[in-house]
Amino acid sequence: MIFQIIGNIKPPSPFMDPNLTNQYGSFTVGFIKFFNNLIRLLIVVGGLWAFLNLVLAGYSFLGAGEDPKKMEGAWAKIWQSMIGLLFILGSFVLAAIFGYLLFGDPRAILNPKIYGP
């Protein structure tokens, strides 16, 4: 075999090397971290999508000329993009308010800590 010149290469395992850690660990802790990362990814994708729509709507508004229907459609898209960004921002604000009211820490919902055995 060609690869026998180099030798056998084993992928690193967190069970074999104590310096490596498994990012998602057990089901209880791992599921929370995975879900938290998934929510963050969706928020970033939603923000990028709203920003892209805002730029495209601005471009279509500039290219509308004197056509009132095109201008109206561009304004509608601009407002929808702004409302989407406000929903994303509002979700952070509400999570901070509920986290502060329920747990005494505004970051409690956005960065949960699991305590257990």
Residues of the chain with pLDDT under 70: 1-7, 9-30, 114-117
Q: Rounded distance, CA 73 to CA 82, Å?
A: 14
Whether the model clears a pTM of 0.85, i.e. scores above it, the answer is no
CB 33 within 8 A of CB 24: yes
Q: Where are the alpha helices (DSSP H) in the chain?
A: 27-62, 68-103
Q: Rounded distance, CA 92 to CA 89, Å?
A: 5
Tell me phi and psi for residue 20, to 5 degrees.
Answer: -90, 140
Tell me what pLDDT residue 53 has: 93
Domain ranges of the chain: 27-103
